[in-house]
Amino acid sequence: MRLLALLLRRLAWFVPTLLGLLAITFVISRVIPGDPVALVAGDLATPAQVEALRRQLGLDRPLPVQFVGYVGALLRGDMGTSLYTTRPIAEDLARRLPATIELTLVAMAFSIVVGIPLGVVSALWRNSILDHALRVVTVSGLAIASFWLGIMLQLLFAMRLGWTPLNGRLQGFPPPAVTGLYLVDSVLAWDWPAFGAALTHLALPAATLAFPALATLVRFTRAGVLDDMQSSSVLYEHAMGLPRSVIVWKYILRNALTSTVTQIGLLFGILLAGAVVTETVFDWPGIGTYAVNSIVASDYNGVMGFTVWAGAIFIVVNLLVDIAQGFIDPRERST
């Protein structure tokens, strides 16, 4: 029952947040530019053409009416037409979304699988050489510009050593689309060469994207495990005569894993923000490159479409994380 209440409370917060996001993008696209019609019409349009376009776009109506229309159109999935691809923006974004999801998921999996053990190890052997080395890595991870890291990895592994492809998602035809994720689709089609190729294409962008998230995760896990090791429950377990290995594997590690779930929302934010620039560096055909192509083409509809999608995905993920946290940690339900 309390879980249901939590669910309802989170959902009740979800709608205003989404509306708030839309209000921000509305203000950015309709109010800041001064005259968005002139922006769409271009420099060569005559005043009469601008007026006609204003009526056609409904921009002669009062702002609150326009906002309702804007939200209504978005709810119907209508984000306008891209000036850049001349296709509906919602369609463009939907087609490009699987690429971004695949990249983000692989990067997230990588940072979790590598980051948590490293964090635990560096806490258990605190102030060892390994701990110090990891500290350098985590400090760097939060200071490095991911677009630059991506370029440096390309320079080393793709251009000099030739171990990985320079950019792109796959050469030749993709495996038959089921999920849109090439790794999954190629396994489903039992096409191992395609799987290998998809994996080598993913390696550099995923590593680039994962690095800051990995650094954050190592840092938090290390702090969490150290706090845990000084907690009274662990002290009690020591006093009970439990071997260190049992305490570490059974209690400390489990706590570390649970607290990671709460970090996923944060990680996702880091990854989503990083995806925009990382995709650009690696010509990855996701929604990040779409946003950048729209910027280059001065297609403000495309940029707004991306902002709404990216923001909405982020808000939904955080909602899911909140709910998952409620299931895992009973204390969350009462707050």
Partner 1 sequence: MSGAWFVLARLCRDRSALIGLVLILGLVASAVLAPVLATHPEDVYELHPAERLQPPSPAHLLGTDRMGSDVYSRLLFGARITILIGIIAVGASLLIGVPIGLVAGYYHSWVSDLLMRVSDIFLAVPQVVLAIAIAQTLGPSLPNVILALSVTYWPWFARLVYAEMRSLQNEVFVESTAALGASPFRLVVLHVLPSIASPIIVRASIGMGFTILTAAALGFLGLGPPPPTPEWGRTIAESREFLPDAWWYALAPGLAIFLTVMGFNLLGDGLRDVLDPRIRRARANRG
Q: What is the end-to-end Cα distance of the chain in Å, rounded? A: 14
Among 251, 314, 329, 333, contact with partner 1 (rule: CB under 8 A): 314
**Helix, strand or coil for residue 297?**
coil
Q: Which member of 91, 131, 191, 329 binds partner 1 (CB under 8 A)? A: 131
CA distance 176 to 257: 36
Residue 72 binds partner 1 (CB under 8 A): no
Compare residues 194 and 256 and give the one whose CB is closer to partner 1.
Answer: 256
Q: Which residue has the tokens 């190890």?
A: 121
Burial grade of 135 (CB within 10 A; 0-12, 13-18, 19 or more): middle
Q: Report the residue from 206, 247, 304, 321 that binds partner 1 according to the rule CB under 8 A.
A: 304
Residue 256: left if φ>0, alpha if ψ -120 to 50, beta else—which one?
alpha
Task: Figure out which of the listed residues 68, 109, 113, 139 binds partner 1, where binding follows CB under 8 A.
Answer: 139
Beta carbon of residue 57, minimum distance to partner 1 (angstroms, whole number):
16
Candidates 35, 60, 78, 227: give the one binding partner 1 (CB under 8 A): 227
| CB-based contacts of 5-13 (< 8 A; 24+ apart in sequence) | 5/333, 6/322, 6/323, 6/326, 6/332, 6/333, 7/323, 7/326, 10/319, 10/322, 10/323, 10/326, 11/319
Q: Of 40, 89, 116, 276, which lies in the binding site for partner 1, with binding defined by CB under 8 A?
A: 276
Q: Which of residues 235-274 bind partner 1 (CB under 8 A)?
A: 269-270, 272-273
Tell whether residue 57 is a contact of partner 1 (CB under 8 A). Answer: no
Please give the Cα distance from 165 to 271 (Å, whole number): 22
Cα–Cα distance between 194 and 196 in angstroms, integer? 5
Q: Is 307 in the site for partner 1 (CB under 8 A)?
A: yes
Give whichever of 33 and 77 is closer to partner 1, judged by the CB atom.
Answer: 33
Residues engaged in binding partner 1 (CB under 8 A): 16-17, 20-21, 24-25, 28-29, 32-33, 131, 135, 138-140, 142-149, 151-152, 154-155, 159-160, 219, 222-223, 226-227, 269-270, 272-273, 276-277, 280, 291-292, 294-296, 298, 300, 303-304, 306-307, 310-311, 314-315, 318
